[in-house]
Structure 1
Amino acid sequence: MPASFSSKMTLKRKADSDEDTAPRKLHAIAENGAQRPTQPLRNNRSATNVPSTKIGLGPAPLTKPRAPTLSGPPSRTTRATSAPPKPAPRLPSTRTTLTRGPASRTTSGPLRSAAGAAKPDDSRFQALQTQVQSIESARAADAARLAADMEAERLKVAELQSNHLALSRQLADAKTQELTQRRELVNASDEMDALKKRHARELMDLEMDVKRRDREIRELEDDLRVVRGDLDRERTVVGELKSTITQQSTTQVTLTAQNQALHAQINALQSSFDYSAETVSNLRMDLEKARERVEELEQEAREAEMIRRKLHNMVQELKGNIRVFCRVRPVLPSDVSATTLVKSGGSGSRGPSPASISPSPEDLERARVEALAEMAFPDKRDHKEIVLNSSSESATGQERKETWNFNFDRVFEPHSTQAEVFEEISLLAQSCVDGYNVCIFAYGQTGSGKSFTMEGGSSDATAGMIPRAVEQVFRVSEELGSKGWEYTMEGQFLEIYNETINDLLGKGEFDKKKHEIKHDKNGSTHVTDTVIQPLRSPNQVRALLAIAQSRRTVAATLMNERSSRSHSVFTLRIRGNNKMTGESCEGSLNLVDLAGSERLKESGAGNDKDRLRETQSINKSLSALGDVIAALGEKSEKGDKHIPYRNSKLTYLLQNSLSGNSKTLMVFNLSPLATHLNESLCSLRFATKVNNTTIGTAKKQIKSS
């Protein structure tokens, strides 16, 4: 490769690299001022084939060398180029084919031997030799001319290289100038941006000044309006003052006269004041006397309260510390069964089955009357007597009638309401607040209405003795608060099931804890490991009763589909303190719902092992209660007598309620049905035994410090 071509390629690569590294923000600016991009030089293998017009403003393009015209016969010619000369073509060594006109002739080489062909043509041979010589001379001339052309081409290449270097320098200068102009343009653009920002800031400042001036103008206008308004008001005030001064001058004369009259009034008031001061002193003396009288009356009220407590206790003692009530429940719809209707003959002797009977109201009334036992309540004034009648046939066919009369402290007929029953019990609740122990039993056979009497229904009209007694205690304690009494109350709910004590308010399962009964010297009874809930309102007691009732053990028997299989004991402890008198008291209210007494044959419990065990445990505890009542009766008649309280958990828990330290009430519940007549007689006989028992005088419980 020639040195000029390599230097040309080096310059070309340098120009390309300069073009790649130059910034591309603006087009290059040519020398004549036209803004057109500068075309880079292309690297060609032959410099002679590139026109000079494509590289800037160089010299005119070179002419192509032409080959010389040959005068001889037509033959192959070699075109003259700027490339190195090609070697001369060889002549054929064997044969040459010449074409003349339409015919052609093939001959052997010029040196063909005489033995293989015809005789040579000498003239033709000479012409060929002449032609060969002319071709060789022409070829030599062409070689000389080609050498001259090559030299001219080299000179042109050198000139092109010098032009290329000049153009490269111009291009570098143009790029430098372009970079300079671009930098100037960038600087100018930055200056323009800075000027724009400064102009924007100045414009914003001017706008803010304009707004501030507008705001100041508005404020000044507002101030001007205010000042004008003040000026108008001041002018009005000045006018009014002027008119007032005119009036005052007239009024002064009037005031002078009034002043003289007031001096006379002051003298009169001074004398009146002296009289009022004397009256006030008299009233103060009367107030002191009234206060002393109030203190005396308060003292009398406290003494009257103490006397009331004593009289109330005396009335309760006169009524007896153990009292017996008898309550007969009404007939329920479930008592009049289809079987009773069939027996009464209401649907015929050969009618449909009892399950498909739809009796008429007359049949129902007839069946209800026939289901009732013959009970009478002859004492319409005091309601203390109940009479039972029974008629039966003897073995000889004669009708035999029997009559039983029983007297108690109060007998409630079937139509008696819960409020009427509690009216007789409310006085005992008052005794509990006064500091006495009170115990109320509900006794009777299964299905006689004990749980309804004690716990009642969901409505206020059907509420039982327990919620009514609690409400009575809270009401009385609030009334006594005005006399200096403050009370705190606690509640406990226990169950005795199969001679085992269960805590109905406890969180654990039954029979997990062993509860023991403890009696102290003060006459209080406590059961270990039981929940004692502080009570603050009657609604809280209702919630506790609902919880205890849901946990109480019940089961279905032939006599009651929801029979209580355990004894429940609700205990309400009350502690009172009077800061005025320093007196304190402590009482308890035990509300006991005993399990139903029943016979195995009638209840059907003998067919179930669990029911049999429950019935035996219930009858045992009720029998132990009867033994304690009988022993107490014998003790009142004969003197010393052992009382078997420990024979049952029930009697041992209620020892203080049965031994004379408590005011006791037993409510005997009876069923009105004729089929339960024998059970009702047993309950009435036991109630008579309790009513004839004397257990002593209850003692007031003083709160221990």
Structure 2
Amino acid sequence: MSSRLPRPASSPDRLGPLPNLKRKAVDQLEEDDGIGPLKMSALSHPSKPGSTFRPPRPLTASSSNIPPSNIGTTKPRVPPIRSGGPGVNGRSTNAPIPKSTRAVSAPPPKSTRPTTTSGARYGATRVKTEAAAIGPDQIQDLREEIKDLRAEQAAKNAKVAEDMDVEKLKVLELQQLHAQQDERLLQARTAETESRRLVADLQEKIEDLQKKHSREIMTCEMDQSRLQRQIESLKDDLRISEADLRRERDTISSLKTAIAEQSTAQVTLEARIAALQAASGNIQGKLDESDMNAGRLKFELEQERQRTSELEDKLREAETLRRKLHNTIQELKGNIRVFCRVRPVLPSELTSSPSGSELAAISFPDTKEHREISIVSSAESATGMGRKENWEFAFDKVFEPQATQAEVFEEISQLAQSCIDGYNVCIFAYGQTGSGKSFTMEGGPTEATAGMIPRAVEQVFSVAAALKSKGWEYKMEGQFLEIYNETINDLLGKGEFDKKKHEIKHDKGSTRVTDVVTVPLESPSEVRSLLMLAHSRRTVASTLMNERSSRSHSVFTLRISGTNGVTRETCEGTLNLVDLAGSERLNSSGAAADKDRLKETQNINKSLSALADVIGALGEKSERNEKHIPYRNSKLTYLLQNSLSGHSKTLMVLNLSPLAAHLGESLCSLRFATKVNNTTLGTARKQARVVS
């Protein structure tokens, strides 16, 4: 605590300045009581702690009870400067202040001494000098006033001490509350840290669950896609089965109708028999004798039936043996066969001009084996006499116009079986434009009109399924190419036609084409889809001989690889099904008027001529064994090199038009087919190996 007392409420700063006379009296009383001078400059204002009390202003007439005549007669003397210590205005505070002398000539000027804190002692000394003029009554009053001021000051000091104790208690409570708040804040921060850690753990778990959920969704989608593909394949198989079931139901319905007709006829016969029995009662004896003869004849008839059954079994065995021997003979001859098929007349040809729809004189003399075809031509000579020419040709099989697709494929099915056994098989259709090659190979939209390609593929899948029980597993893949203007195009490639350059590679009896799309096949329905896609992209154009003439050679290749897990044996077979573009003359087709059609026709005829050269060279090689085979003269012959060189079983299907207007083209095709049929090739080799 400071040694200075607080300034009382009745100090001059609060109650106004005291008269100089009263201050002098107070100083005098303090000296008399032995207290010493009251240092007002050290007292602090109660309302403003730490403030310093100002020294009293100089004594003037207006602020004291001294008469003016006594005030202006004296003038304070300036004390001499001492070395004891600085006082007010450089004077020593220990030197006595001399009494003032009265002025004689004029009153003292109204001047005030500067009020400074350092001049408080100088003011008190001056009051003491002037206190002699104050009376005893006034001094007594001043004493009482001073006691009252001190009592009031003591009460105020007590109240201030009490207020300070209360404030200290409040500060202590606030400190305790602040400590509690700090502890709660620490607990809250700890809880918040724990919550954030829990939130981070939960966020990690949520992200892991989301990733797991995403993976499960992706797996489910892949499984769903796979199941959808299986469902589509099963639906296709179901449609095929339903079509077979409808055919069987139609057959059963026709059989039921025949049975009903036979039942009606039987009832009629029984009625007639009953009438005859009633009418023939008188000839019963003769009937008994006839019964004896009938029994004998019945016994003989039964013997004849048994003999006929035995002969039929022998005939079937002989037919099977004949086919095997025939197949062996064909392989020894070079393993190349030729079939000839004459297409029927189209309805559009019947409704066109009568001269253009006139039929050629084509006959089929061989009614048993169906291996011969004959053509008769009538013409006038230069002399006006009639001339009749007859040409006869023989092939491995000849199909008349009414022959169905199923009958044609029945003869080809054995070649499809050879492909499963590991042989390379090539079947190609040859003939002029509009002779039915595309219909023979690809067929129509119905099951009855399906061509050789879908039927062969279906048979391959059927045989592969039957051999599965014997340990064989087969994988199949297909590709579809066309040769247009001596350029190979991939009919299954992306875009209209890919810009890649395809090259033909031959390696150990197999033929490959670079950079082509090869599609794995699981069912015959996929093959039908590929045929539809390739057919829509194949190059066709309209000519005078055919509204949709194929302007390119198409080649469908089915590759088969089989593995037997029991015998560790493998086999690889290839089935090439070729639809050649039609040979045609420029004058008859009208291609000479269009430069694009002209170029296409020239390339088609060039490739077919190259094929004829290869066939001719093969025939000459079989005689001298030194003839060079010009396979590289055309992309077509180079692609079919292994099919024509004896490494595969080859079948040529010659297609002919029945119209007389096409007789010249038909004769050219027949002569070429005869040359092919007479060509001798090597024996086909089976592509098989044993897995070590």
* TM-score, length-scaled by structure 2: 0.52
1:385-435 per-residue CA deviation (whole Å, 9 max, x = no partner) reads 000000011111100000000000000000000000000000000000000
Asked whether the 8 Å contact 1:437–1:589 carries over to 2, the reply is: yes
The corresponding residue for 2:561 is 575
The corresponding residue for 1:670 is 656
Q: How does 1:267-282 map to 2 (within 5 A)?
A: none
Deviation at 1:653, TM superposition (A): 0.6
* Partner residue of 1:339 out of 353, 359, 362: 353
The corresponding residue for 2:590 is 604
Asked whether the 8 Å contact 1:500–1:511 carries over to 2, the reply is: no
1:156-187 per-residue CA deviation (whole Å, 9 max, x = no partner) reads xxxxxxxxxxxxxxxxxxxxxxxxxxxxxxxx
The corresponding residue for 1:382 is 369
* Partner residue of 2:647 out of 641, 645, 661: 661
- Aligned residue for 2:646, secondary structure, equals coil
**What's the C-alpha RMSD, in Å, of the aligned pairs?**
1.9
Deviation at 1:641, TM superposition (A): 1.0
The corresponding residue for 1:185 is none
User: Does residue 563 of structure 1 match 2:546?
Assistant: no
The unaligned stretches of length 5 or more in structure 2 are 1-320
Asked whether the 8 Å contact 2:429–2:655 carries over to 1, the reply is: yes
Q: How does 1:488-527 map to 2 (within 5 A)?
A: 488-510=475-497, 512-520=499-507, 522-527=508-513
Q: What amino acid maps onto 2:331 in structure 1? A: E
Asked whether the 8 Å contact 2:551–2:581 carries over to 1, the reply is: yes
* Partner residue of 1:484 out of 466, 471, 480: 471
Q: What amino acid maps onto 1:446 in structure 2? A: T
The corresponding residue for 1:392 is 379
Deviation at 1:505, TM superposition (A): 0.5
The corresponding residue for 2:337 is 323
Measure, in 1, the Cα distance between the counterparts of 2:329 and 2:563. Answer: 24
Deviation at 1:312, TM superposition (A): 10
Asked whether the 8 Å contact 1:313–1:431 carries over to 2, the reply is: no
* Partner residue of 1:441 out of 405, 428, 438: 428
1:175-208 per-residue CA deviation (whole Å, 9 max, x = no partner) reads xxxxxxxxxxxxxxxxxxxxxxxxxxxxxxxxxx
The corresponding residue for 1:425 is 412
The corresponding residue for 2:282 is none
Q: How does 1:551-700 map to 2 (within 5 A)?
A: 551-700=537-686
1:621-659 per-residue CA deviation (whole Å, 9 max, x = no partner) reads 000000000000000111111000000000001110010
Measure, in 2, the Cα distance between the counterparts of 1:622 and 1:444. Answer: 10
1:343-366 per-residue CA deviation (whole Å, 9 max, x = no partner) reads 6xxxxxxxxxxxxxxxxxxxxxxx
The unaligned stretches of length 5 or more in structure 1 are 1-306, 344-366
- Aligned residue for 2:338, secondary structure, equals strand
Asked whether the 8 Å contact 2:424–2:648 carries over to 1, the reply is: yes
Deviation at 1:703, TM superposition (A): 5.2
Q: What amino acid maps onto 1:328 in structure 2? A: V
Measure, in 2, the Cα distance between the counterparts of 1:566 and 1:328. Answer: 22
1:31-72 per-residue CA deviation (whole Å, 9 max, x = no partner) reads xxxxxxxxxxxxxxxxxxxxxxxxxxxxxxxxxxxxxxxxxx
Q: What amino acid maps onto 1:402 in structure 2? A: E
The corresponding residue for 1:467 is 454
Asked whether the 8 Å contact 1:585–1:701 carries over to 2, the reply is: yes
Structure 1 pair 669–628 and aligned structure 2 pair: CA distance change class (3 A) = same
The corresponding residue for 2:11 is none
Asked whether the 8 Å contact 2:330–2:337 carries over to 1, the reply is: no
Structure 1 pair 421–310 and aligned structure 2 pair: CA distance change class (3 A) = closer
Measure, in 1, the Cα distance between the counterparts of 2:587 and 2:327. Answer: 45
Measure, in 2, the Cα distance between the counterparts of 1:311 and 1:538. Answer: 32
Structure 1 pair 696–596 and aligned structure 2 pair: CA distance change class (3 A) = same
- Aligned residue for 1:518, secondary structure, equals strand
Deviation at 1:319, TM superposition (A): 7.6
Measure, in 2, the Cα distance between the counterparts of 1:660 and 1:319. Answer: 10
Measure, in 2, the Cα distance between the counterparts of 1:703 and 1:330. Answer: 46
1:440-470 per-residue CA deviation (whole Å, 9 max, x = no partner) reads 0100000000000000000000000000000
Deviation at 1:317, TM superposition (A): 2.1
* TM-score, length-scaled by structure 1: 0.51
User: Does residue 458 of structure 1 match 2:445?
Assistant: yes
TM superposition outliers: structure 1 runs of 4+ over 4 Å: 309-313
Asked whether the 8 Å contact 2:344–2:401 carries over to 1, the reply is: yes
- Aligned residue for 1:339, secondary structure, equals coil
Asked whether the 8 Å contact 2:424–2:647 carries over to 1, the reply is: yes
Structure 1 pair 422–323 and aligned structure 2 pair: CA distance change class (3 A) = same
Structure 1 pair 387–587 and aligned structure 2 pair: CA distance change class (3 A) = same
User: Does residue 541 of structure 1 match 2:527?
Assistant: yes
- Aligned residue for 1:461, secondary structure, equals coil
Q: How does 1:36-185 map to 2 (within 5 A)?
A: none
Q: What amino acid maps onto 2:347 in structure 1? A: P
- Aligned residue for 2:427, secondary structure, equals strand
- Aligned residue for 1:547, secondary structure, equals helix
1:590-646 per-residue CA deviation (whole Å, 9 max, x = no partner) reads 000000000000000000000000000000000000000000000011111100000
Q: What amino acid maps onto 2:568 in structure 1? A: G
Alignment coverage as a number of residue pairs: 370
- Aligned residue for 1:629, secondary structure, equals helix
Q: What amino acid maps onto 2:612 in structure 1? A: G
